[in-house]
Structure 1
Amino acid sequence: MTIVKLKLMMNKSSLFCTIILIIYCFILTNSYVYNGVKKYGYLPGVDFILADAKKTDVLYHVFTKNVSEGQYLTEETVSDSILIANAPTIIVIHGWMSNETTNWYEPIKNEYFKKYFDCNIIYIDWSKAGSNEFQISAANSKPIGEFIADFIIAGNFHLESVHVIGHSLGSHVAGFIGKSIYEKTSKKLGRITGTDPSGRMFEASNMTSEFRLADTDAEFVDIIHTDVGNYGFEKPIGMIDYYPNGGSSQPGCPLLQIDDKCSHKRSNLYFIESINSNDFIATSCESWENFKEVNCGNDSKNVTFGENVDFQARGVYYFITNDNPPFAQIK
């Protein structure tokens, strides 16, 4: 073999290795861009070894009607606290790069205080563990969920009356709460609602139900998909999965290039409106296209969307909303 041929082979080999390295780094650390918007479908699954969360990273801010300013509790103080025994308990969990000042916590608290004569509302703030690079925050979703499960167990909550509502990455935290509760007590939480669960890294092929929110994590699991293809999880993962307006771009939201979180956040707004309303009517259907063409078949069913859903309902459901509140279209 001549020296020239050998050099050519070495150059080709080096070029090939360089291309492979670039592709690997791209997949491992970056999103890809489509129409000027970041997408995350090619990212690998969550590496939970990266988790660095501690129990002290979680704050529990508890509200009842009698304690309007709330009280911060810990696993050690929860059993002797302001909590109202036997009352519904709603636990809300924010997503990545957020905290308890997120703009949907107070509205959801106010709506539940309208709905129930007595109830416990618990704001979860896991911002210390949830404001790292995404791959680390995603890994922290598991221990954070386990820590919150320990808090619930220490508080002797009536599990059937506990409703955990998690948004985005917080949806998977909710899933890990449910898994840990069942592992430690052989009982399940009453309900988990995932408001546009995060798809980034959690939709990788190796991320089975063991590693994300799943339909087995509570007695009833409902999912709202409003940002499919961007931040939100695409496939059905609950007992009932709603896809308002098809599940992706939501009416009234600007283009993704202008605001790429509007549709993602709408999941919370739709659910909040549903707490004291039965106006959202969702229809089971094989696809969004069939729904738009009013071609869902004779077996199609209607259910009330959101808080007041029939717990026996199963499957994939669609509905259309208005551009602005009130979002429910009254027929």
Structure 2
Amino acid sequence: MKLFFLISLFSILHTNFALEFTAQDLLYSLEQISEGIIESAPGPLRPDYVFKTIKNIVEGLPNQIVSGITNIICSAVIAKGKDQTPDQYDPTLGDIKFQFRTPCDKREYSVADPSGLADDDDFDPDKNTVIFSTGWTTTVNNERQDALAKAYNCRGDTNYLALDMGNYINTLYFWSSENTDKIGKYLAEGIQRLESIIDIGKLHIMGHSLGAQIMGSAARYYRDLTGKTLPYVTGLDPAFPCFNEGEELTVISSSDADFVDIIHTNPGGSGQPQAFGDVDFYVGGKFPVQDACNDPQCSHEIVWQYYTESVYPNNVNDFLAKRCNSLNSLQEGKCVGNEYPMGYAVPHTLRGRYVLEVNAEKPYGKNATADYTNPDSTVCGSCEEFE
């Protein structure tokens, strides 16, 4: 996939386009891993920590170098002129839809006119509303949407809307990245139209990877359109290549909404390495490979499983984190202060960078209790619950 990732960028470069890479650029990913290794030591590192370090260098470093180079190329190309996406892959407003998910059904309403939601018997305007977007090479009907819709429907207090973007982020990565800005603009217009149906104060928009960048874009456009800020945006391992602070494709950040929380599981690889949210959670510290995974791609994807687990009513405190600067500091007991939940129950007053450990298998949350709800085995929120 990474090879295709690079080819998709180089294929749109002009033949006379030249790039210069400095040693500092190429070592950026190595520095990220090094921070995860030695930060907050002195003292000898534990054998399990050394093993984890070696695993991350072998599995994670190539991914980080490729992503770093891809980011440099992509940023340089975009800076030379936007709108290079072919017309057939250029998003149109009529193709972007809200897919309303109940336990037993999926119904779509155009973001250009979502008024049909007001007449949908299953849509409750008094409930909270979540809009979720998936990332690159996905369409609306996928396991991520299925899992999160089931979790929120299990709660019973939330309308779940999956963002249907057609195939506009299911193309070459460079084009898909460019499309996030326009999709975000259309979503912002759709949210503005939702104001006549729901209480925007109860709206939570969230996304994974490129989907997280779409939500950041939507929040910025919404502010431009209305002069108001959205209350809550979540980024699940927001995409790194092509997205940088203050550039043409800027990254999701704390300035986008009243509260922005970001969860990092593959920092410096496919996911953003830096802390841009009001609160940033680094699962397993700055290492790019999760304990439950053997490769960076799994580590980039698993974040939505962590979040899904946290949504179930019995699981909201499964993932407790401390304000900290590294995994080593956390394991050595050097991080002071209270523990706070990552995921569904995150306090909106929380600020700073937090670190936590997770289990290598479900339940992923280390603080799961005897009442833990397994997302895979429960029928709560599924159609089976009503059969």
Q: TM-score range by the shorter chain?
A: 0.7 to 0.9
Shift, 1:279, TM fit: 1.9
Q: Against the structure 1 CA distance between its residues 35 and 88, is the aligned structure 2 distance closer, same or farther, given a 3 Å change threshold? A: closer
Q: Look up the SS of the partner of 1:250 in the other structure.
A: coil
What amino acid maps onto 1:41 in structure 2? Answer: G
- How many residues end up aligned between the 2 structures? 298
Distance in 1 between residues matched to 2:367 and 2:343, nearest whole Å: 15
Equivalent position of 2:290 in the other structure: 250
Equivalent in the alignment of 2:222:
181
Structure-1 residue corresponding to 2:325? 286
Residue 40 of structure 1: CA displacement? Answer: 1.5
Using the TM superposition, give the Cα deviation of residue 130 of structure 1 relative to its aligned residue in structure 2, in angstroms: 0.8
Measure, in 1, the Cα distance between the counterparts of 2:309 and 2:189.
Answer: 31
Verify: 1:330 aligned to 2:325, yes or no: no
Segments of 5+ residues of structure 2 without an aligned counterpart are 1-15, 30-59, 369-387
Q: Secondary structure at the match of 1:192?
A: strand
Instruction: Using the aligned pairs only, state the percent identity.
Output: 25
1:173-226 CA-to-partner distances (Å, cap 9, x unmatched) read 0001101111111222221111100011214x7538x72211121221100000
Residue 79 of structure 1 aligns to a residue in which SS?
A: helix
The counterpart of 2:271, out of the listed 232, 246, 258, is 232
Counterpart residue number, 2:84 = 50
- SS of 2:347's partner is coil
* Aligned with residue 97 of structure 1, among 137, 152, 159: 137
Offset, 1:287:
2.7
Contact 2:114 2:190 in 1 (8 A): yes
> Which 10-residue stretch deviates more, 265-274 or 120-129?
120-129
Query: Secondary structure, in 3 states, of the residue corresponding to 1:128?
Result: coil
Q: Give TM-score, length-normalised by structure 1.
A: 0.82
2:68 corresponds, among 34, 41, 45, to: 41
Q: Which residue of 2 aligns with 1:159?
A: 200
Question: 1:126 aligned to 165, 172, 197, which one?
Answer: 165
Separation in 2 of the partners of 1:279 and 1:212?
A: 28
How big is the shift at 1:229? 2.3
TM-score, length of structure 2 as denominator length: 0.71
Give the 3-state SS of the residue equivalent to 1:53 in structure 2. Answer: coil
Counterpart position of 1:200: 241
**Structural RMSD (CA):** 2.7
Aligned-residue offset at 1:63: 2.4
The structure whose Rg is larger is 1
Partner Cα separation in structure 2 for residue 296 and residue 286 of structure 1: 8
Q: In structure 2, what is the equivalent of residue 305 of structure 1?
A: 342
After superposition, give the CA deviation of every residue in 1:255-293 in whole Å (9 maximum; x if it has no partner).
Answer: x3xxx4100011101111111211211010133332222
